[in-house]
Structure 1
Amino acid sequence: QAVDFPTAQALGLIPSLESLGIPQIQVFPVQGRCSFTNTWHEARGSRAHEGVDIIAPRGNLIYAVVDGTITKVYNNASLTGNGVRLTMADGTYFFYAHLDTIAPNITVGTVVKAGQILGTNGSTGNTTTPHLHFEVHPRGGAAIDPTPIVAAVNACHITEPRPQS
């Protein structure tokens, strides 16, 4: 019988992401009904896709997945559209793209807590379908496949926003 990723981890059938040196997230990045599939390294013109696309309605809240600092804000960049880079103390960063809006209190240098609202879902930049493009760069290096990281805390079935502190 098949088991899902979190159950397999809980049963000790596979090692934890953390034990493999792979970052874990504390909060799912998108509020409400959504979906995602593994599109890691699929062709995107002359480049490879380096993230996971979480499809959700325009306007759904986008959250900080960990405690960290906003180290870059993108405003209407050609590929990214509106987006942010959230960086942890060890240099690991999470890249969010295609946001409809960025929360007004989110600027470079803002210290955020996991679960804090970063903005709203959208389709800015090089896309037409509202979704969050989400990347993970351990210790500031090359992107890794974020699908298992996101799947470990999959909250696409949750419709209520996470309470804000």
Structure 2
Amino acid sequence: MGRFGRIVLCVLALMAAGWIGLLVVLPKVPSRSAESISSAPATPVAERGAEAQGVLRVPVDGIARRDLRDTWGDPRDNGQRAHHGTDIAAPANTPVRAAAPGTVEKLFVSAAGGTTLYVRSPDKAWTYYYAHLASYAPGLREGQVVQAGALLGYVGDTGNAGAGNFHLHFGLARTTPDQHWYEGVDIDPYPYLAGRRLPG
């Protein structure tokens, strides 16, 4: 090997050593998982596992279980009635998503609830009630099957919520298969939004 060949070989060896040194010194960059780049709503892994076991998903984007407060039984209408549901405060037009899988049984506008919808569980044992919405998700229709996390609508202040009192009223009712969307026994949803599993 000639003098020029030895020089080229030495340069290549020095370059390789430098590259290896950089790999050792530079911090490792974590790879982005499929979850971190997904366009789906962010739901902690623990919550996704809980949903599969019958625990309700928090239905308002950006609200954690620890942020919820139990408003069941709070006085309403100057003490004339007790509150039957969990109110979840959030900015106007925050996405509202299905707390559990089911079928959209009714889209309904009322004086009290404003723009509302009712989703029935696949076994018809539960009705999930979403009230005071600003609007429904585009294309949402009665009879539509939804999965937990599906976009249903947006937080609003319709009905008797009060202007500027943006929140989702989430209700839960225990039903039998022969009952209608407006029937059933109201149940405090807070424990189930907080992580307790729905009874079978």
What is the deviation of 1:104? 2.3
Matching of residue 79 in structure 1 with residue 109 in structure 2: no
Aligned partner of 1:144 in structure 2 is 187
State the alpha-carbon separation in 1 of the partners of residues 73 and 63 from structure 2: 25
What is the deviation of 1:113? 1.1
Decide which of 5, 24, 39 is 2:55's aligned counterpart.
24
Paired residues for 1:1-165 under 5 Å: 24-25=55-56, 27-33=57-63, 35-45=67-77, 46-75=80-109, 77-91=110-124, 92-128=126-162, 129-139=165-175, 141-152=184-195
Unaligned runs of 5+ in 1: 1-22, 154-165
State the alpha-carbon separation in 2 of the partners of residues 74 and 107 from structure 1: 11
Moved more, 125-134 or 30-39: 30-39
Partner SS state of residue 100, structure 1: strand
Q: How many residues align?
A: 131
Letter of the structure 1 residue corresponding to residue 139 of structure 2: N
What is the deviation of 1:33? 4.6
Q: Percent sequence identity over matched residues?
A: 36
Partner SS state of residue 148, structure 1: helix
Letter of the structure 1 residue corresponding to residue 167 of structure 2: H
What is the deviation of 1:119? 0.6
Instruction: Indicate the structure with greater helix content.
Output: 2
State the alpha-carbon separation in 2 of the partners of residues 138 and 149 from structure 1: 13
Letter of the structure 2 residue corresponding to residue 146 of structure 1: P
8 Å contact kept, 1:31–1:61: yes
RMSD: 2.1
What is the deviation of 1:133? 0.2
**TM-score computed with the length of structure 2 as normaliser:** 0.60
8 Å contact kept, 1:79–1:125: yes
**TM-score computed with the length of structure 1 as normaliser:** 0.72
